[in-house]
């Protein structure tokens, strides 16, 4: 067997970003041929990435960047907070966001196919966790844009206004991050959502013993309260609870065109794996 030097392993590791032992093994199997070792590592890295792709990736980071006009936001998921704090993971997240900013006319699927997916597989191989570039968003068709990224990089918001100022947009983005509204105004809440809430309130009121007309007023009152709680314009501003967002907008001659709020892992069903199964999965991978 060809003797593999530390410098060869170092060079292969720098070219692939993979682990020392994986690089050393690949060089041994390729009899020191660097190009062949890279080719084989690409094959095995893809295989290992696919094995890990079924594991729940509900942790991760949100990142936001502006190009001077619009704001761009990305969510990249991993399995644990430990990996989310890894420098190479943070670098991958920021580089992927930069690619999106530079190619905002392309879909996430196109960007993945043009190089991001290959880099993702290398990172999976290096860090040993499933990593998912989950979603991207950008502001558009607005005169004023703003953003807010929570200090732990787990919650972010970008927002588009007509009128107002960047400071106002940033304040409302912070409010959205804190309160998680369902829509801009009550008129934007889907009818099926309202119908479902009305059905719940009706069931809650059926045993009240009150006359039907009173029960109906109670139900509609609860529906109105629900709409005010989940609609951004009807919420009390977090920085000044005595002022509604709608009043804040009126005072600044502004309207909210749209907002996007990301929270790491929201909506992802976390896979429950017992310790013994987890150990075996690590051994098999």
Task: Provide the pairing of β-strand 132-138 with 71-78.
Answer: antiparallel
Whether 57 and 134 share a structural domain:
yes
Instruction: Tell whether 19 is covered by a domain.
Output: yes
Mean pLDDT, rounded, for 94-106: 95
Distance CA 29, CA 43 (A): 13
Bridge partners of residue 59, in order along the sequence: 78
- Are the C-beta atoms of residues 244 and 236 closer than 8 Å to each other? yes
Residue span of the structural domain in which 14 resides:
6-52
Residue 83 lies in a domain: yes
Same domain, residue pair 48 and 98: no
Give pLDDT, residue 37: 87
Reply yes or no on whether the pLDDT at 47 is more than 70.
no
Count of CB atoms within 10 A of residue 168's CB? Answer: 20
Residue 258's pLDDT band (cuts 50, 70, 90): very high
In a domain, 232, yes or no: yes
Q: What is the mean pLDDT of residues 10-23?
A: 80
Residues 68 and 130 both lie in one domain: yes
* Domain end (from 17, 34, 52): 52
Across 8-12, 114-118, 188-192, 230-234, least confident range = 8-12
Please count the structural domains in the chain.
3
- Is 181 a member of any domain? no
Query: Distance (Å, rounded) from C-alpha 111 to C-alpha 170?
Result: 28
Question: Buried b / exposed e across 173-197, counting CB within 10 Å, b at 16+?
Answer: bbbbbbbebebbbbeebeeeeeeeb
Cα–Cα distances (Å) from 200 to 28, 64, 78, 189, 267, in that order, read 66, 38, 36, 16, 22
With respect to residue 23, please indicate whether it lies within any of the assigned structural domains: yes
- Tell me how far the alpha carbon of residue 211 is from its chain's centroid: 48
**How high is the mean pLDDT of the chain?**
89
Give the pLDDT band (50/70/90) at residue 275. very low
Reading the block at residue 207, the tokens are: 């045993």
Residue 38 has pLDDT above 60, yes or no: yes
Are 44 and 101 in the same domain? no
Residue 83 confidence (pLDDT) above 90: yes
- Look at residue 23 and tell me whether its pLDDT is greater than 90: no
Is 66 part of any domain? Answer: yes
Q: What is the pLDDT of residues 206-257, one digit of tens each?
A: 777 788 888 889 999 999 999 999 999 999 999 999 999 999 999 999 999 9
């Amino acid at each position: 067997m060809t003797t593999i030097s530390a410098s060869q392993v170092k060079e292969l590791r720098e070219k692939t970003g993979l682990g020392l032992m994986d690089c050393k093994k690949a060089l041994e199997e390729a009899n020191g041929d660097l190009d062949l070792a890279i080719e084989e590592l690409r094959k095995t890295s893809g295989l290992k990435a696919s094995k890990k792709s079924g594991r729940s990736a509900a942790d991760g980071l949100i990142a936001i960047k502006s190009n001077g006009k619009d704001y761009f936001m990305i969510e990249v998921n991993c399995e644990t907070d430990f990996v989310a704090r890894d420098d190479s993971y943070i670098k991958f997240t920021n580089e992927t966001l930069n690619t999106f900013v530079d190619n905002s006319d392309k879909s996430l699927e196109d960007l993945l196919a043009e190089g991001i997916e290959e880099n993702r597989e290398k990172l999976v191989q290096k860090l040993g966790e499933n990593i998912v570039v989950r979603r991207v968003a950008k502001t558009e068709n607005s005169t004023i844009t703003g953003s807010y990224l929570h200090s732990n990089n787990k919650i972010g918001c970008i927002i588009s206004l007509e009128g107002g100022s960047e400071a106002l947009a940033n304040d409302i983005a912070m409010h959205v991050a804190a309160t998680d509204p369902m829509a801009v105004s009550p008129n934007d809440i889907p009818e099926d959502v309202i119908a479902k809430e009305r059905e719940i309130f009706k069931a809650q009121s059926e045993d009240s013993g009150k006359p039907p007309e009173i029960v109906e007023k109670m139900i509609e009152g609860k529906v109105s309260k629900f709409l005010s709680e989940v609609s951004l314009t009807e919420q009390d501003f977090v920085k000044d609870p005595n002022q509604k967002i709608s009043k804040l907008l009126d005072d600044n001659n502004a309207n909210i065109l749209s907002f996007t709020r990301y929270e790491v892992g929201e909506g992802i069903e976390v896979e429950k794996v017992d310790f013994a199964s987890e150990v075996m999965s690590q051994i098999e991978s």
